[in-house]
């Protein structure tokens, strides 16, 4: 079965890269800050998972065991599918309330796609969509995409090491 999001997302990414490349800028200073936060997060997550392994959501364990690390390099399509349509809509539609309503719709759907990680994770992933859209001019969506890939790879690697 075809996963249309994995086709539409990259197509949107290429279209926006062609029309408005500044929307996808990469801020390397922010990525360095993120790497420091991610290192601290890995340490704390490792302690938490080590001492409380029974609190790891079962669905997260199942998906982590099924997913290869190379698959995680392709998570950029999530950002492309859930954030870039908001950018595209904002280029053609002026009333802000329509854009913000659509942004909340995208945030909700992105969060619900991560509900297997737990309720808090789903909420934070919804906030991620809103944050990446609202700060795209200062930080750049490309920055969020790279940080998303880094986070998914470090978390999956850490879980695989803890579980095996």
What would the pLDDT profile of 95-133 be if each residue is shown by its tens digit? 999 999 999 999 999 999 888 888 998 999 999 999 999
Is 2 a residue whose pLDDT tops 70?
Answer: no
Domains of the chain, by residue range, sit at: 62-164
What CA–CA distances, in Å, run from 118 to 61, 69, 92, 114, 144? 12, 21, 35, 7, 22
**Over the chain, what is the mean pLDDT?**
88
**CA 157 to mean position of chain CA atoms:** 17
Give the per-residue pLDDT at 1.
Answer: 59
Percent of the chain predicted with pLDDT > 70: 98
Q: Which ranges of the chain does DSSP label H, i.e. alpha helix?
A: 5-19, 28-51, 58-66, 76-82, 84-92, 96-112, 119-134, 141-163
**CA 133 to mean position of chain CA atoms:** 12
Dihedral (Cα; 20, 78, 14, 25), 10-degree rounding: 40
Record the tokens describing residue 95, joined without a space. Answer: 């009333």
């Amino acid at each position: 079965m075809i996963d249309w999001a994995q086709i539409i997302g990259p197509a949107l990414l290429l279209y926006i890269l062609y029309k408005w490349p500044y929307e996808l800028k990469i801020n390397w200073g922010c990525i360095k800050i993120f790497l420091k936060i991610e290192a601290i997060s890995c340490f704390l997550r490792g302690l938490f998972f080590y001492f409380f392994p029974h609190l790891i959501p079962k669905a997260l364990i199942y998906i982590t065991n099924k997913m290869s690390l190379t698959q995680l390099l392709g998570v950029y399509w999530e950002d492309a599918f859930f954030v870039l349509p908001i950018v595209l809509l904002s280029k053609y539609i002026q009333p802000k309330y329509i854009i913000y309503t659509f942004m909340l719709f995208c945030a909700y759907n992105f969060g619900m796609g991560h509900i297997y990680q737990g309720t808090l994770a789903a909420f934070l992933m919804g906030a991620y969509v809103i944050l990446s859209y609202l700060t795209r001019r200062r930080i750049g969506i490309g920055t969020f995409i790279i940080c998303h890939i880094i986070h998914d790879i470090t978390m999956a690697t850490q879980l695989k090491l803890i579980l095996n």
